[in-house]
C-alpha cells in the first residue's frame, strides 16, 4: 500500500517512504512502530497541504491500530494516544478538503478515546484537558466552515476563557483568537475583528508558524476593509515571509528526522544480512530435504494415478461392451414394436372392413323394412336401427382413417356430439327402462376430433347404463364456465371403489366388473375416456360412492367465444321407456 503511494514530494518524504516500504517487505517492524511512521508521513503531507494523500495514510494508521492488540498497559496507552491524534488530524484533513460532514465522525471518535485514556491513566487529566481543548478548536473550525457562526463563536469564547499561563494555553488562545477574528470578518463585524487582532498581536511574535502567517493574512484583510491599505500591504508581506521561513525549517527538520530513521534502518539491515549468512547453509539443507520429500510424494501419487487410470480404462471398456449389447437389444425391441404396430394397423383395418359389410346390409334391410312397415311403432324402431347403423358405419370409416395416421380437430358443437351419442345408446337404455336426461345450459363449441369426443360420450353413457339399476335416471349436463366447457355425466348406479378410481387415473389397468344385468365389462372404457380428454388439453375427474352412483366431470377449453349462446331448451328428458 505504501509503495503505491510513493510520491516525489522531497528528499525527507522519500526517505521515510523507503523506510516504510523496506520494513514492510523485511518484516522488521511491529504494528505500532509502522503506524507511528505512517502518522509521521501523514503529518508531513498535511503540513505540505497534500490533504488527500494525508487522509489516506491516516485511514491506514487507524486501520492498523484498531486491529493492534497490545498486552501491556504502556503499549495500550501509546496506541490509544496515537489513535487519538490520528483521528484529530483526520478531522482537520476533512475540514481542509471541505468534507465537513465526514469530519464529524473522527471528532466524535476522538472524544470517546479521551475517556478511554483517562480510565487507563487517571494522572493524565492535565493532558486530557488539553486534548478536549484541541477538539473544541477543531469543532469551532468545523462550525465556521459550515457558516454556523453562533456555535463557532461560543466554542472560541470558551477556549479564550481559560487564563492559564502555560505555553500550550497561550498558544491555543492565540489560535482561537485568530479563528474568532476570521469569524467576525466573515460576519462583516470589522471593528470586533480589529479588536481581537489588536489583543492577540503580541503573541504573534512568539509563534513564527503557519498560524502566525494566517494571523497576518486576516489582519491584512481587515485593514483592507477598513481602507488602511498600508497596514494591509505590510501584513501581507509578513504573512508571506513567515510561510517561506516555515517551509525551509520544516523541510530541514524532516530531512534530519528521515535521515536518522534511514541510518537506523541501515544498521538493522546489516545485522539481518549477517544472521542470514549464518543460516544460509542451514536453509539449503532444509530446502533440499523438503524438495526430496515432495519429489517422492509426487512420484508415489503418479504411480497411484497410473494404476487408477488402468482400472478406469478396463471399466470403461467393459461399460462400452455392455452399452453396445444394450443398444443391440434396444434396436431389436424397436424393430419388434414397429412390426407389432404395423400388424395392429393391419388388424384394425381388417376388422373395420369385415364389420362394414354386415352393417351396410343391416342398414339396407332396415331402410326396406321401414318403407313397407305398416305399424308406426315398428317403423320407429327400424328408423332407430338405421340411425345407429349409420353412426356405426361413420365410426368404422373414422377408424380406417385413423389407422392411416389421420386425426382432425375442428370447431364442433359439443351439444350435437352429445345428442348423437345419446341416440346411439338409446336402445340399450330402453332395454333397461332408463331415462337419459339432458341439461344443456349453453350451446358450446370446442376445437375437437368429432369421433373421439363421440367415443368419449359413448363410453361414459354405456358405462352409466351398464352399472345403473332398471328404472333409474342418467343425466348429461353441458355448461360454460368462463373460457371452459364443463361436461357432467351422472348416474345413481352401484358406484366405483376408490382403489379402482386411482387405477383409472394412473397408469394401472382396473379389473372389469359385470353390469347390473350381468353385462360384460373389460375395464378399459374409462381409461380410454381419460386418454381422449388429455389429448384435447382437458381435465378428467371421477366422483363416486359405492352404492350411491358416480359423476364423471370433463372440462375442455372453449374454442370460439362468439358462438357461445344460451340453449333454447336447457333441460330435456329423452323418454326411453
Q: 57-94 pLDDT, tens per residue?
A: 888 888 888 888 777 777 777 787 788 788 878 887 77
Residue 555: burial class (beta carbons within 10 Å; 0-12, 13-18, 19+): middle
Helix or strand or coil: residue 471? coil
Could you give phi then psi for residue 432, rounded to 5 degrees? -105, 15
> What does the domain layout of the chain look like in residue ranges?
408-574
**In contact, 90 and 62? CB cutoff 8 Å:** yes
Q: Is the dihedral of CA 228, 233, 234, 238 positive or negative?
A: positive
pLDDT at 418 over 90: yes
DSSP letter (8 states) at residue 569: S
Averaged over 34-41, what is the pLDDT? 83
DSSP letter (8 states) at residue 518: -
Rounded to 10 degrees, the C-alpha dihedral 251/254/255/260 comes to 170
Q: Which residue has the higher pLDDT, 386 or 264?
A: 386
Q: Strand pairing of 445-448 and 484-491? A: unpaired
Neighbours of 391 (CB within 10 A): 17
Q: Give the integer Cα–Cα distance in Å for 493 and 500.
A: 16
pLDDT > 90: percent of the chain: 11
Residues 6+ apart with CB under 8 A from 445: 411, 412, 413, 414, 558, 559, 560, 563, 564
Q: Which residue has the higher pLDDT, 374 or 309?
A: 309
pLDDT > 70: percent of the chain: 65
Q: Give the integer Cα–Cα distance in Å for 264 and 277.
A: 20
Most confident of 41-50, 86-95, 105-114, 455-464: 455-464
**In contact, 76 and 29? CB cutoff 8 Å:** no
Q: Give the integer Cα–Cα distance in Å for 558 and 87.
A: 76
pLDDT at 404 over 60: no
317 Cα distance to chain centroid: 45
Q: What's the pLDDT at 574?
A: 46
Architecture of the domain spanning 408-574: 2-Layer Sandwich (3.30)
Q: What's the pLDDT at 416?
A: 93
Residue 33: burial class (beta carbons within 10 Å; 0-12, 13-18, 19+): exposed
65 Cα distance to chain centroid: 37
DSSP letter (8 states) at residue 494: S
268-295 residue pLDDT tens: 666 666 666 666 667 777 878 888 889 8
Residue 564: burial class (beta carbons within 10 Å; 0-12, 13-18, 19+): middle
pLDDT at 108 over 80: no
CA-angle at 27, arms to 26 and 32, nearest 5°: 135
Of the pLDDT bands very low, low, confident and very high (cuts 50, 70, 90), residue 406 is: low
pLDDT at 48 over 90: no
pLDDT at 400 over 70: no
pTM of whole model > 0.75? no
Q: Which residue has the higher pLDDT, 172 or 528?
A: 528
Of the pLDDT bands very low, low, confident and very high (cuts 50, 70, 90), residue 136 is: confident
pLDDT at 454 over 50: yes
The Cα-based distances of 177 to 161, 268, 271 in angstroms read 11, 47, 52
Could you give phi then psi for residue 105, rounded to 5 degrees? -65, -55
Q: How confident is the prediction for the chain on average, in pLDDT?
A: 75
Amino acid at each position: 500500500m505504501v509503495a503505491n503511494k510513493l510520491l516525489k514530494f522531497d528528499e525527507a518524504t522519500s526517505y521515510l517512504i523507503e523506510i516504510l516500504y523496506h520494513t514492510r517487505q523485511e518484516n522488521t517492524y511491529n504494528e505500532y512502530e509502522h503506524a507511528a511512521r505512517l502518522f509521521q508521513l501523514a503529518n508531513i503531507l498535511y503540513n505540505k497541504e497534500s490533504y488527500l494523500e494525508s487522509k489516506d495514510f491516516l485511514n491506514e494508521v487507524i486501520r492498523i491500530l484498531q486491529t493492534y492488540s497490545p498486552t501491556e498497559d504502556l503499549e495500550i496507552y501509546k496506541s490509544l494516544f496515537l489513535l487519538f491524534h490520528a483521528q484529530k488530524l483526520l478531522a482537520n484533513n476533512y475540514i481542509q478538503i471541505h468534507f465537513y460532514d465526514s469530519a464529524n465522525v473522527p471528532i466524535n471518535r476522538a472524544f470517546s478515546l479521551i475517556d478511554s485514556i483517562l480510565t487507563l491513566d487517571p494522572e493524565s487529566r492535565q493532558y486530557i484537558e488539553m486534548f478536549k481543548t484541541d477538539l473544541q478548536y477543531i469543532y469551532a473550525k468545523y462550525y465556521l466552515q459550515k457558516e454556523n457562526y453562533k456555535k463557532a463563536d461560543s466554542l472560541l469564547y470558551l477556549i479564550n476563557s481559560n487564563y492559564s499561563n502555560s505555553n500550550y494555553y497561550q498558544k491555543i488562545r492565540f489560535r482561537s483568537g485568530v479563528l474568532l477574528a476570521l469569524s467576525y470578518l466573515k460576519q462583516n463585524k470589522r471593528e470586533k475583528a480589529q479588536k481581537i487582532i489588536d489583543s492577540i498581536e503580541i503573541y504573534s511574535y512568539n509563534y513564527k508558524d503557519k498560524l502566525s502567517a494566517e494571523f497576518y493574512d486576516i489582519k491584512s484583510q481587515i485593514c483592507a476593509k477598513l481602507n488602511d491599505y498600508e497596514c494591509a500591504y505590510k501584513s501581507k508581506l509578513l504573512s508571506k515571509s513567515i510561510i517561506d521561513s516555515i517551509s525551509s525549517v520544516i523541510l530541514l527538520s524532516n530531512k534530519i528526522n528521515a535521515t536518522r530513521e534511514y541510518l537506523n534502518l541501515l544498521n538493522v539491515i546489516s545485522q539481518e544480512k549477517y544472521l542470514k549468512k549464518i543460516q544460509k547453509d542451514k536453509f539449503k539443507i532444509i530446502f533440499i530435504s523438503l524438495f526430496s520429500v515432495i519429489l517422492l510424494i509426487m512420484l508415489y501419487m503418479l504411480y497411484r494415478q497410473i494404476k487408477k487410470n488402468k482400472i478406469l480404462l478396463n471399466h470403461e471398456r467393459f461399460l462400452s461392451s455392455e452399452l453396445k449389447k444394450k443398444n443391440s437389444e434396444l434396436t431389436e425391441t424397436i424393430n419388434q414394436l414397429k412390426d407389432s404396430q404395423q400388424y395392429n394397423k393391419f388388424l384394425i383395418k381388417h376388422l373395420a372392413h369385415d364389420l362394414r359389410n354386415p352393417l351396410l346390409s343391416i342398414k339396407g334391410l332396415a331402410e326396406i323394412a321401414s318403407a313397407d312397415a305398416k305399424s308406426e311403432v315398428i317403423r320407429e324402431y327400424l328408423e332407430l336401427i338405421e340411425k345407429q347403423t349409420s353412426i356405426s358405419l361413420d365410426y368404422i370409416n373414422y377408424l380406417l382413417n385413423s389407422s392411416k395416421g389421420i386425426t382432425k380437430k375442428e370447431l364442433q358443437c359439443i351439444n350435437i356430439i352429445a345428442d348423437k351419442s345419446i341416440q346411439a345408446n338409446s336402445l340399450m337404455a330402453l332395454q333397461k327402462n332408463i331415462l337419459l336426461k339432458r341439461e344443456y345450459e349453453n350451446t358450446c363449441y370446442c376445437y375437437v376430433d368429432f369421433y373421439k369426443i363421440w367415443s368419449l360420450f359413448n363410453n361414459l353413457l354405456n358405462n352409466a347404463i351398464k352399472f345403473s339399476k332398471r328404472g333409474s335416471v342418467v343425466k348429461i349436463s353441458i355448461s360454460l364456465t368462463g373460457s371452459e366447457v364443463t361436461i357432467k355425466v351422472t348416474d345413481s348406479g352401484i358406484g366405483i371403489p376408490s382403489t379402482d378410481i386411482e387405477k383409472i387415473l394412473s397408469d394401472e389397468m382396473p379389473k372389469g366388473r359385470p353390469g347390473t344385468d350381468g353385462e360384460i365389462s373389460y375395464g378399459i372404457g374409462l381409461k380410454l375416456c381419460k386418454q381422449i380428454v388429455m389429448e384435447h388439453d382437458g381435465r378428467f375427474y371421477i366422483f363416486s360412492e359405492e352404492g350411491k352412483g358416480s359423476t364423471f366431470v370433463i372440462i375442455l377449453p372453449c374454442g370460439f367465444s362468439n358462438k357461445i349462446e344460451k340453449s333454447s331448451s336447457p333441460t330435456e328428458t329423452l323418454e326411453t321407456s
